[in-house]
């Protein structure tokens, strides 16, 4: 079984800036992934990352996520794709420097959508990379869209396609971004409490309190991510999604076999103990 990791765009970049990679954080997270692989050589990983201050800026400026007409100026589409690739190269290079056999996979080269939903993605290269012991690194990307011309497909949507439409099904998905899901926004409410576990019993209440991202995000923010992750854990028996922050060492711990007292777990199976 695989473990999918998603590095949030707001984690690896200054999302309020422009083309602003957080190199120290990227380097540290790469080292933590390398450390986890040393501890467990059987660990099979696929890594995805958001575009943060790279792709989101251009997508929002040119309205790529809303759709471009056939006679529109498609320069924004190209700029968005180029920005996403630049960040991907930075992430892959950091992983390689840490001794992780990472290889970049550009989704848009083989991706099609309709109404901003993935309808086709040739994932043969992703599967081949995993077969040969490589670690594919994908990213949120642009797509040619049959209904609206252009679209932005988030990393979570790509991971969902791999989970639901291919044989590359993970046992775990680790989303590195927000420290956890809270009862309120911890930035503004000192009484906000971490929600350690999301199941069917508290899902509606959690979704009601989930808000959008605090910086430019053309992929829907926290609410859309939670909706999609719940769809995955409901569809795949035993699948567990964990949201964690970026505290040093936390990603290595989350990739281990033990339990950690941090973040939020999302799962449909309520019989297991946290």
Q: What is the pLDDT of residues 165-205, one digit of tens each?
A: 999 999 999 999 988 888 887 888 888 888 999 988 888 88
- Given a cut of 50, whether residue 216 has pLDDT beyond it is no
- Given a cut of 60, whether residue 221 has pLDDT beyond it is yes
Cα(255)–Cα(77) distance, integer angstroms = 35
Where is average pLDDT lowest: 69-78, 85-94, 209-218, 233-242?
A: 209-218
Q: What is the pLDDT of residues 97-126, one digit of tens each?
A: 999 999 999 999 999 999 999 999 999 999
Positive/negative CA dihedral, 197, 173, 34, 93: negative
110 within 8 A of 121, measured Cβ to Cβ: yes
Tokens representing 179?
């420290």
Any alpha helices (H) in the chain, and if so which ranges? 9-12, 23-39, 52-62, 75-97, 124-131, 155-165, 203-209, 221-235, 250-255
pTM of this prediction exceeds 0.85 = yes
The confidence score (pLDDT) of residue 271 equals 56
Structural domains of the chain sorted by starting position, each given as residue range(s) with its CATH number in brackets: 2-266 (3.40.1160.10)
The confidence score (pLDDT) of residue 200 equals 87
Cα(205)–Cα(236) distance, integer angstroms = 23
The confidence score (pLDDT) of residue 102 equals 98
């Amino acid at each position: 079984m695989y473990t999918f990791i998603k590095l949030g765009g707001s984690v690896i970049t200054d999302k309020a800036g422009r083309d602003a990679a957080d190199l120290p954080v990227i380097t540290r997270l790469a080292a933590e992934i390398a450390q986890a692989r040393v501890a467990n050589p059987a660990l099979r990983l696929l890594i995805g990352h958001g575009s943060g201050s790279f792709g989101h800026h251009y997508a929002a400026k040119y309205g790529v996520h809303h759709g471009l007409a056939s006679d529109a100026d498609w320069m924004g589409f190209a700029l968005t794709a180029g920005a996403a690739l630049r960040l991907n190269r930075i992430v892959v290079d950091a992983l390689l420097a840490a001794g992780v056999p990472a290889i970049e996979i550009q989704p848009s080269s083989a991706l099609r959508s309709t109404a901003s939903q993935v309808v086709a993605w040739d994932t043969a290269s992703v599967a081949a990379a995993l077969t040969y012991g490589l670690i594919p690194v994908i990213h949120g990307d642009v797509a040619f869209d049959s209904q609206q011309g252009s679209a932005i497909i988030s990393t979570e949507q790509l991971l969902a396609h791999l989970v639901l439409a291919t044989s590359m099904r993970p046992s775990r998905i680790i989303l590195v971004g927000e420290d956890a899901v809270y009862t309120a926004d911890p930035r503004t409410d000192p009484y906000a409490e971490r929600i350690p576990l999301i199941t069917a019993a508290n899902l509606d209440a959690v979704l009601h309190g989930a808000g959008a991202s605090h910086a430019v995000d053309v992929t829907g923010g926290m609410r859309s991510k939670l909706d999609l992750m719940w769809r995955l854990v409901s569809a795949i028996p035993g699948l567990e999604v964990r949201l964690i922050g970026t505290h040093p060492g936390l990603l290595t711990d989350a990739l281990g076999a033990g339990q950690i007292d941090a973040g939020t777990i999302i799962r449909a199976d309520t019989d297991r103990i946290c």
